[in-house]
Structure 1
Amino acid sequence: MNISRHRTALLAVAATALTLSLTACQSDGGTTSKSSAAPAATVASATSAARAAGGEATSASEATGSAASAHATGSKDSANSTGATGSTAATGRQASASAPLCTARDVAVTAATQDGPPYTHIVLTAKNTSSHPCRLTGFPHIQLLESHKQDVPAVAKSKPATPVVLTAGAPAYALVKVSDGGVDEDNEPVSAFSVTLENDSTVITVTAPGSGGIAADPAKALTGYWTPELRNGADDF
């Protein structure tokens, strides 16, 4: 809107200057030098006004162009920034998805009792002892007794919603029920038991917690899935 008004002012000044010049040319030879100087002064004044108006218009145009350029640059930078952030997140997801499966060579599995007597549950901890990330899938395949070769059944509700990816040194946990804690149960003492990981048949021997081991009833035993944290309450069984 300001640029349009400046252009209108320029046209008006130019028209005035042209009219005064033509009037001066058409005057007779008896016109005094003072009278002749008046149109020239007017033209000079008009020219100065035109230059001033043109300068303001130019400044306004440059300011508008600068603002537009800055807006465009900002939009581009913002888009690039958003794209970079999205790219980083996507790279992280791809890295997690491409991490190799954990094997018995990648993790160390230990057992500890949970809560107090009667010790009906133990907690398995699988710690990534390798120098690279790996995915720990499914649940631990446990056989508590040599006389009972079936794997301990898994509890489906403990399955995590996302894959468990262990960075170097990171742990995962599985809650294991070994008995109901009844005195008349068909329990047997267990000082060590075997664990295998999904997609790896290597047997990991785990020492049972406590100086005398644990009392286990294979008919009552259950195991949870591997999770990045031990979720008390969510895995109660």
Structure 2
Amino acid sequence: MNASRRTALFSVAASAALALSLTACQSGEGTKADGAPVAQDTASATASAPAAGTSTDTGTTTGTGTAVGTAHKTGAGSSAAKKGTAATPLCRAQDVKVSSERQDGPPYTHIILTARNTSGHRCEMAGFPHIQFLESHKQDVSSVAKSKPAAPTVLNPGDPAYAMVKLSDGGVDEDNEVVTAFQLILQGDSTVIAVDSSAGGGLAVDPAKTLTGYWTTELRNGADDF
């Protein structure tokens, strides 16, 4: 057999062997020759699994722990989860005991209202007392804007709030009426609070001159002078 024929036969045999090898790989991919499964590549398996300690939870949490949205958590948590709890409730009539005391005098032109938190929880004395001194004058006593405190008047159990109230310009006036009791309501509550003012013979009130300050944790010079 000449050299060129031997070379041709060798090429044909090599091509046939390669074809058989490829056919065996395609038909038995992922198995050994004896049919046993082939283990996955270690690097590929590690890459497809979540890293240790990584959260895959799909939802940020609120302050109450309720899942919302579809964002992955971070180690520090979302800013929304850190925000505060419910706002302090308004003080209601059942939460406080209100009393009045004459201020300066005589003549007594002002009183100080004191509302003490007798409940077992914090509450806010919002705005000013809505006062009616006389049955013949149903409108509320006007408030003085400059007495409004810069921060909310929040009371812990046992704490007092104060409001300065003007009765008249002083002196004897035919428009003054003696008041031995009056009523008020708190902002956000329609319950009527009756206040006894009979001590010392009552209060001389001029309905045209009355004014009230806002509730505050302390009386302040200037802001409560009116």
Q: Does the alignment reach a TM-score above 0.5?
A: yes
Within 5 Å, give how 1:33-44 maps onto structure 2: none
Partner of 1:205: 194
**SS at 2:114's partner residue?**
strand
Q: 2:121 pairs with 128, 132, 136, which one?
A: 132
- Aligned sequence identity (%): 68
Q: CA RMSD in A?
A: 1.9
Partner of 1:27: none
Partner of 2:110: 121
Where do 5+ consecutive residues of structure 1 fail to align?
Answer: 1-89
Partner of 1:83: none
The TM-score, its normalising length taken from structure 1, stands at 0.59
Asked if the contact 1:113–1:209 (Cα under 8 Å) also holds between the matched residues in 2, the reply is: no
Deviation per CA, 1:73-105: give whole Å up to 9, x if none.
Answer: xxxxxxxxxxxxxxxxx98xx46x711110000
Asked if the contact 1:111–1:209 (Cα under 8 Å) also holds between the matched residues in 2, the reply is: no
**SS at 1:105's partner residue?**
helix
CA distance in 2, matches of 1:158, 1:132: 26
More displaced 10-residue stretch of structure 1: 221-230 or 177-186: 177-186
Q: 2:181 pairs with 184, 192, 205, which one?
A: 192
Does residue 222 (structure 1) correspond to residue 211 (structure 2)? The answer is: yes
**SS at 1:157's partner residue?**
helix
Partner of 1:145: 134
Report how far residue 209 of structure 1 moved.
5.6
Where do 5+ consecutive residues of structure 2 fail to align?
Answer: 1-81
Q: Between Structure 1 and Structure 2, which shows a larger proportion of helix residues?
A: 1
Does residue 177 (structure 1) correspond to residue 163 (structure 2)? The answer is: no
Deviation per CA, 1:83-131: give whole Å up to 9, x if none.
Answer: xxxxxxx98xx46x71111000000100000112100000000000000
Q: Residue type matched to 1:98 in 2?
A: A
Deviation per CA, 1:120-150: give whole Å up to 9, x if none.
Answer: 0000000000000001100000000011101
Report how far residue 185 of structure 1 moved.
4.5
Q: Between Structure 1 and Structure 2, which shows a larger proportion of strand residues?
A: 2
